[in-house]
Structure 1
Amino acid sequence: MGDYVLRTSSLSKQYKDQLALNNVDLSIKKGSIYGFIGQNGAGKSTLIRVVTGLALPTKGKLELFGHSTEQELIQARKRIGSIIEGPALYPHMSAAENLEAHRLLKGIPGKKCIEKTLSLVGLQNTGKKKAKNFSLGMKQRLGLGIALLGDPEFLILDEPINGLDPMGVVEIRELLKKMNHEYGITILISSHILSELYLLATHYGIIHKGELLEQLTVNELNEKCQQYIHVKVDKPDKATAIIETQLGTTHYEVLPDGTIKLFRYLDAPGKVSKTLSNEGLIIEQFMPMGENLETYFTNRIGGGKHE
């Protein structure tokens, strides 16, 4: 029980005639950074709203920190910090004043947390500058600071890098890594910038049309997305025998159409093609290939373009 900060079982959410979540079984381990992937309307924000108590599930079970009764969930949510649909900032207040206002709203005792949080998110030198004059990256960092008030154990972030310039994206990424590595905060982060999620997440969940298609670790993703040499020859059975005997490897896969995915000799493709040719095989296709998170995601949801 203590290994997970969040678990759902057959969690569903119906809006009139739209099934936004369909029997979702999701689990997030303590200490992980969980990248939540899906197109617009796939159900990411709906699940986040249910987890944070902003929406009620139609059916199914929700468990936070091992607790699942209504009263227990109310208490457990006090251990969560979140940014949903953009940080809620007071534009005419400074960073410190924003944090103070939210400290009072959350009922957090003492003001020591203000300076600590400002320093943590790199806004300690903004003085009396008003939030309306902050850059987008500074606003996102202030939003993170608000979410971090009260020392949450679980941080939930819905599109926290949306609209940021490259420098802002790097700043938020490094800050989240610091939160996770130095303070042990578990993070659920949804984002459309899949290349950025790949640099951050330790675990992934892919949701499509309200259904959770797959959960996998970064190591499992790397295994699925590893680079290989795409080989298509006239006699695949003979080719695999040559690969094993003359090239000395069994690290390959034969697809139903006879195409061979060779996971070795990536640094010496010429040796492979020469060996196969010398044995009289006709090489029809031969090229290095491999997936990344974006192509894996696109293939996993059945093709098409994500937004």
Structure 2
Amino acid sequence: MQEYVLRTNQLSKTYKGHTALDKVNLSIRKGSIYGFIGQNGAGKSTLIRLVTGLAFPTKGSIELFGASDDKALIQARKRIGSIIESPALFPHMTASENLEANRILRGIPGKECVPRMLEQVGLQGTGNKITKNFSLGMKQRLGLAIALLGDPEFLILDEPTNGLDPMGVVEMRELLKQLNRELGMTILISSHILSELNLMASHYGIIHRGQLLEQFTAEELDGKCQQYIYIKVSDPGKAAAVIQNELNTTDFEVMQDGAIKLYGHMEQPSKISSVLFTAGLEIEKFTPMGEDLESYFSKRIGVDSHV
């Protein structure tokens, strides 16, 4: 039987008449990396705040590690590490002092975890530099180190790569994959960098206007991301009619900018270009392509993704 770290049942949250979450049924399997996708204001941060106990549901329920009553949820939340929005840091303390303060506040025994966490996130060389003078990327790393104190089983990260340079993004990705692979840590990542999520997530959830539209695995995403031929011609309307009549297919889309995505017929590029040329159409671009997570997300929420 599949074991779940988090499940929500009809979870809803209303703020002053505005519905931020609407009957969300989300499930995260133990040992997965769950990419939580949505536009700003879609409800990602609201759900994370409810799960971590920073806000309370208007309706519905939360189950963490199989626990759902209030007292059991308090205990279950001790098994979570999180970064929500910007990490809460003491600006006039060093990285080591920040970790030590958080260790004491949370009642985590043993000081040996502090240097271990600093090394794990690449901040072991910061010495006496105070957090106030850290770059945004360094603050993100320190926030992650604080979240990892106590060796949580479930890590919740809201935009963990904010402020990181390209190499820092790669290092963060590899660290999270290592935590998942070697420690079996379950990770929920809310991020707008979909290309980055695509490189590490094993499961996904798409939220839009407070509603969870869909959940799927990385393998299922591969099946959803269709291959297509990207076509730009002098007269998109005429080209659409030619494709439908001459190729006997309606499996194509005319995008807002006039480009055409033709699905199927991938093995017949010569025939397609010949049909369009014979119809008197000037071909500006004709390229086999494949959709990715970003284009699938855009299509799913009804926003055109331009090539």
Name the TM-score class by shorter chain. 0.7 to 0.9
Matches within 5 A, 1:53-64: 53-64=53-64
Matches within 5 A, 1:157-176: 157-176=157-176
CA contact (8 A) 1:2 1:65 kept: no
2:99 is aligned to: 99
CA contact (8 A) 2:266 2:288 kept: no
Q: Distance in 2 between matches of 1:128 and 1:31?
A: 37
Q: Can you list the C-alpha shifts for 1:127-173, whole angstroms capped at 9, x where unaligned?
A: 22222222222211111000000000000011112233222222221
Q: Distance in 2 between matches of 1:152 and 1:70?
A: 20
Aligned residues: 288
Evaluate the alpha carbon distance shift between residue 235 and residue 38 of structure 1 in structure 2; reply closer, same or farther with a 3 A threshold.
Answer: closer
Evaluate the alpha carbon distance shift between residue 212 and residue 131 of structure 1 in structure 2; reply closer, same or farther with a 3 A threshold.
Answer: same
1:262 is aligned to: 264
2:235 is aligned to: none
Q: Are residues 1:66 and 2:91 paired? A: no
1:142 is aligned to: 142
Identity of aligned residues (%): 65
Q: Distance in 2 between matches of 1:180 and 1:256?
A: 39
CA contact (8 A) 2:140 2:163 kept: no
Matches within 5 A, 1:57-206: 57-206=57-206
Q: CA deviation at 1:202?
A: 1.4
CA contact (8 A) 2:137 2:162 kept: no
Evaluate the alpha carbon distance shift between residue 69 and residue 301 of structure 1 in structure 2; reply closer, same or farther with a 3 A threshold.
Answer: same
- Counterpart residue identity of residue 203, structure 1: H
Q: CA deviation at 1:228?
A: 2.4
Q: CA deviation at 1:183?
A: 1.4
Q: CA deviation at 1:263?
A: 6.6
Q: CA deviation at 1:239?
A: 4.4
CA contact (8 A) 1:236 1:260 kept: no
CA contact (8 A) 1:162 1:191 kept: no
Q: Are residues 1:294 and 2:294 paired? A: yes
Q: Can you list the C-alpha shifts for 1:237-294, whole angstroms capped at 9, x where unaligned?
A: 8847xxxxxxxxxxx994699x9622753xx7337756x79xxx96978652432222
Evaluate the alpha carbon distance shift between residue 168 and residue 58 of structure 1 in structure 2; reply closer, same or farther with a 3 A threshold.
Answer: same
* Structure 1 gap ranges (5+): 241-251
RMSD: 2.8
1:32 is aligned to: 32
- TM-score w.r.t. structure 2 length? 0.84
Evaluate the alpha carbon distance shift between residue 263 and residue 219 of structure 1 in structure 2; reply closer, same or farther with a 3 A threshold.
Answer: farther
3-state DSSP class of the match of 1:110? coil
- Counterpart residue identity of residue 156, structure 1: I
Q: Distance in 2 between matches of 1:299 and 1:125?
A: 45
Q: Distance in 1 between matches of 2:173 and 2:100?
A: 25
Q: CA deviation at 1:2?
A: 6.1
Q: Distance in 2 between matches of 1:254 and 1:124?
A: 55
3-state DSSP class of the match of 1:48? helix
Evaluate the alpha carbon distance shift between residue 235 and residue 78 of structure 1 in structure 2; reply closer, same or farther with a 3 A threshold.
Answer: closer
Q: CA deviation at 1:11?
A: 0.4
Moved more, 67-76 or 192-201: 192-201
3-state DSSP class of the match of 1:61? strand
Evaluate the alpha carbon distance shift between residue 253 and residue 66 of structure 1 in structure 2; reply closer, same or farther with a 3 A threshold.
Answer: farther
